[in-house]
């Protein structure tokens, strides 16, 4: 059978990219059987992340085709294995960017599985425990070890839970960073290249300040004013101007994936500043984040689309044409 065709024998229906064009189309495949520690989840919604663009088009270089993307998965438990604890049929749950790890190294023991010394298993385009390629959330259901599944409050809408993750940039991650900052009682400044986002940042998201990074006067007036900067902008952009906004001892955290990062070493040395990065959190922090969202009513701003719109949504995401996150209605459109 050609990889451009889908099998008629699989137990799961999804949408997959077959090559570096990234074009998605229907694809049926087999999910593994539910093991004693596994949970089978009926997927109701799946968020669209920029990593879906990169992986379907093999921009990083490790994509394994066919690629069924989607790592922002929300759904309902439909079956649990004999050893599963804390989950039952009917629970609302979420699955994130990884679905397995060695569970024995120092990082796994600290519930920081994303740093697993044996290598974390990605939710899609990774190698599953049975040797097959992992397939993501643009599909009807998924089977996951209980450790990598997160419980969602029953009254938290699954469409919104599908895109919870996580301020430079005011996109899918950035707008949530603002909401988290306000919920934590912080004074939040949004840094953006787009003056048109000022109204939304200050009034809808309730940021305290808005700075246009291309405006030298605004940048100079904001010099040495911030303790912490989180950079959520995926497009290539210089970070050294923003480093000047940090106070002495401040921290700059990169959570986006630009192709190149350039800095002025003096910004670090003279100000005792720190640059760090984070792709995602461990299972402990992820569950704490979801609980915090439910307790503080933190909801992402989303545009719900059918699976048939997925290719168009990815194209719009490339053009930054979304406020602020696409979520695929899997239950309502993938039949």
185-226 pLDDT, tens digit each: 899 999 988 898 899 999 989 999 999 998 999 999 999 899
Looking at the fold, whether 135 and 216 belong to one and the same domain comes out as no
Looking at the fold, whether 259 and 117 belong to one and the same domain comes out as no
Looking at the fold, whether 176 and 152 belong to one and the same domain comes out as no
Looking at the fold, whether 132 and 207 belong to one and the same domain comes out as no
Looking at the fold, whether 159 and 306 belong to one and the same domain comes out as yes
Distance in angstroms (rounded) separating the CA atoms of residues 179 and 300: 9
Looking at the fold, whether 244 and 190 belong to one and the same domain comes out as yes
Q: What is the pLDDT of residue 271?
A: 87
- Tell whether the model's pLDDT for residue 165 goes beyond 50: no
Q: Is residue 86 part of a domain?
A: yes
DSSP state for residue 147 in the 8-state scheme: G
**Residue 191 sits in a domain of what CATH number?**
3.40.50.720
Structural domain tally of the chain? 2
Distance in angstroms (rounded) separating the CA atoms of residues 117 and 194: 40
Looking at the fold, whether 181 and 160 belong to one and the same domain comes out as no
Looking at the fold, whether 18 and 132 belong to one and the same domain comes out as yes
Q: Is residue 5 part of a domain?
A: no
Q: Is residue 208 part of a domain?
A: yes
Distance in angstroms (rounded) separating the CA atoms of residues 79 and 82: 10
Looking at the fold, whether 39 and 150 belong to one and the same domain comes out as yes
- Residue 235: how many other CB atoms lie within 10 Å: 14
What six digits make up the tokens of 330? 């899997």
More confident: 260 or 225: 225
Distance in angstroms (rounded) separating the CA atoms of residues 83 and 141: 20
H or E element: which one contains 297? none
Note the pTM of the prediction, 2 decimals: 0.83
Q: Is residue 320 part of a domain?
A: yes
Range of the domain at 103: 12-164+300-333
Nearest to 228 by CA among 180, 261, 291, 195: 180
Lowest mean pLDDT among 101-115, 218-232, 249-263: 249-263
The residues near 117 (Cβ < 8 Å, ≥ 6 apart) are 102, 105, 106, 107
**Residue 149 sits in a domain of what CATH number?**
3.90.180.10
Distance in angstroms (rounded) separating the CA atoms of residues 164 and 219: 30
Q: Is residue 1 part of a domain?
A: no
- Tell whether the model's pLDDT for residue 332 goes beyond 80: yes
pLDDT digits 0-9 by tens, 42-71: 999 999 998 999 999 999 899 999 999 999
Tell me the C-alpha to C-alpha distance, in Å, between residue 312 and each of 57, 169, 303.
14, 22, 13
Looking at the fold, whether 99 and 154 belong to one and the same domain comes out as yes
pLDDT digits 0-9 by tens, 124-156: 999 987 888 999 999 999 999 999 999 998 888
Looking at the fold, whether 179 and 136 belong to one and the same domain comes out as no
Looking at the fold, whether 261 and 313 belong to one and the same domain comes out as no
Q: Is residue 289 part of a domain?
A: no
Q: Is residue 283 part of a domain?
A: no
- Whole-number average pLDDT of the chain: 90
Q: What is the pLDDT of residue 8?
A: 54
Q: Is residue 294 part of a domain?
A: no
Distance in angstroms (rounded) separating the CA atoms of residues 20 and 56: 6
């Amino acid at each position: 059978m050609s990889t451009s065709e889908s099998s008629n024998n699989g137990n799961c229906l999804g949408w997959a990219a077959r090559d570096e064009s990234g074009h998605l189309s229907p694809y049926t495949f087999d999910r593994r059987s539910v093991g004693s520690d596994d949970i089978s989840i009926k997927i109701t919604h799946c968020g669209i992340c920029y990593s879906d663009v990169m992986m379907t088009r093999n921009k990083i270089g490790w994509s394994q085709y066919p690629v069924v993307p989607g790592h922002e998965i929300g759904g309902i438990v439909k079956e649990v294995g004999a050893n599963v604890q804390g989950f039952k049929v009917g629970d609302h749950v979420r699955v994130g960017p990884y679905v397995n790890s060695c569970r024995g190294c120092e990082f796994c023991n600290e519930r920081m599985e994303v740093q697993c010394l044996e290598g974390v298993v990605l939710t899609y385009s990774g190698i599953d425990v049975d040797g097959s390629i992992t397939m993501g959330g643009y599909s009807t259901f998924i089977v996951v070890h209980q450790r990598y599944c997160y419980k969602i409050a029953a009254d938290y809408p699954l469409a919104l839970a599908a895109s919870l993750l996580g301020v430079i940039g005011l996109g899918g991650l950035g707008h949530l960073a603002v909401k988290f900052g306000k919920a934590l009682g912080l004074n939040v400044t949004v840094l953006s290249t787009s003056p048109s986002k000022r109204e939304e940042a200050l009034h809808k998201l309730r940021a305290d300040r808005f700075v246009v990074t291309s405006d030298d006067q605004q940048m100079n007036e904001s010099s040495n004013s911030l303790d912490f900067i989180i950079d959520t902008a995926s497009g290539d952009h210089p970070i050294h101007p923003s480093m000047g906004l940090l106070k002495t001892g401040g921290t700059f955290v990169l959570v986006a994936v630009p192709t190149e990062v350039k800095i002025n070493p003096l910004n670090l040395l003279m100000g005792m500043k720190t640059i760090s990065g984070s792709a995602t959190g461990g299972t402990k922090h992820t569950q704490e984040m979801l609980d915090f969202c439910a307790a503080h009513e933190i909801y992402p701003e989303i545009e719900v689309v059918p699976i048939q719109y997925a290719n168009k949504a990815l194209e719009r995401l490339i053009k930054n044409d979304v406020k602020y996150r696409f979520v695929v209605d899997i239950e309502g459109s993938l039949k």
